[in-house]
Amino acid sequence: MRKKQLLPILGLISLMTTPALAQEDALTSKPGALAPYKTAIGFRYSPSNKFGADLAITAKHFIRPESAIEAQVGITNYNRAYFASIQYVWQPQLLTSNRLRPYAGIGLGLSGTEFNRNGEQQPFSTNLVGLGNIGIEYTFPKVPLSLSLDYRHAIFGYKTDSFKDLPINRLNNIGIGLKYNFK
């Protein structure tokens, strides 16, 4: 399915689900929820694909019981590329589990690369990108660790003239994360 066909479908789905979220009796998360931890530091790894593996250092800090700010800085094996991002993350506490929590985030980031094409060094380039992610995180009960699985998607790019060499879709990937939790 092409992106032009996907956008109207996603827009229609969001319009249909928005009234359901606005209902007062629609309980989506536990009342009086608590954050699973205050701050966590760890890494996110995206297994190798045809563009190279991603490895990122990540830090997450809860600002409210179900809201956090997450920062990531990482590299990819493709043409010495790097990325850095900061995202707002909504992570509700489910009615059925205190330790297993889904999350969704949106934020801004920078992506850049330095090329060596045919023995000729290309200029270093940095681009602004919008990112979104969805995932699930499990916090272990007796050890201060959290394990996560997520999908990161680049929504848009600004000044992406170098994306002909490092297309924005190369930021899209599935990753696993492991974080050490501080209470």
Query: Hey, what are 78's tokens?
Result: 């493709």
Strands 116-117 and 67-76, bridge-based pairing: unpaired
pLDDT tens, residue by residue, 97-137? 889 999 999 999 988 776 655 656 666 677 888 999 999 99
What is the Cβ-side half-sphere exposure of residue 121, based on CA atoms within 13 angstroms?
Answer: 3
Query: Hey, what are 123's tokens?
Result: 């200029």
For the segment(s) 34-117+124-182, the CATH number from 3.90.1200.10, 1.10.1660.10, 2.30.30.220, 2.40.160.20 is 2.40.160.20
* pLDDT score for 183: 86
Does the structure show a pLDDT above 90 at 71?
A: yes
Query: Hey, what are 63's tokens?
Result: 């600002």
C-beta of residue 45 within 8 angstroms of C-beta of residue 176 = yes
Per-domain residue ranges of the chain = 34-117+124-182
Pick left, alpha or beta for residue 59 (phi over 0 → left; psi -120 to 50 → alpha; otherwise beta): beta
Closest by alpha carbon to 132, among 21, 53, 14?
14
pLDDT tens, residue by residue, 6-62? 566 656 555 554 544 444 444 455 566 788 899 999 999 988 656 667 899 999 999
Does the structure show a pLDDT above 90 at 171?
A: no
Burial of 129 (0-12, 13-18, 19+ CB in 10 A): buried
> To the nearest whole percent, how much of the chain has pLDDT over 90?
41
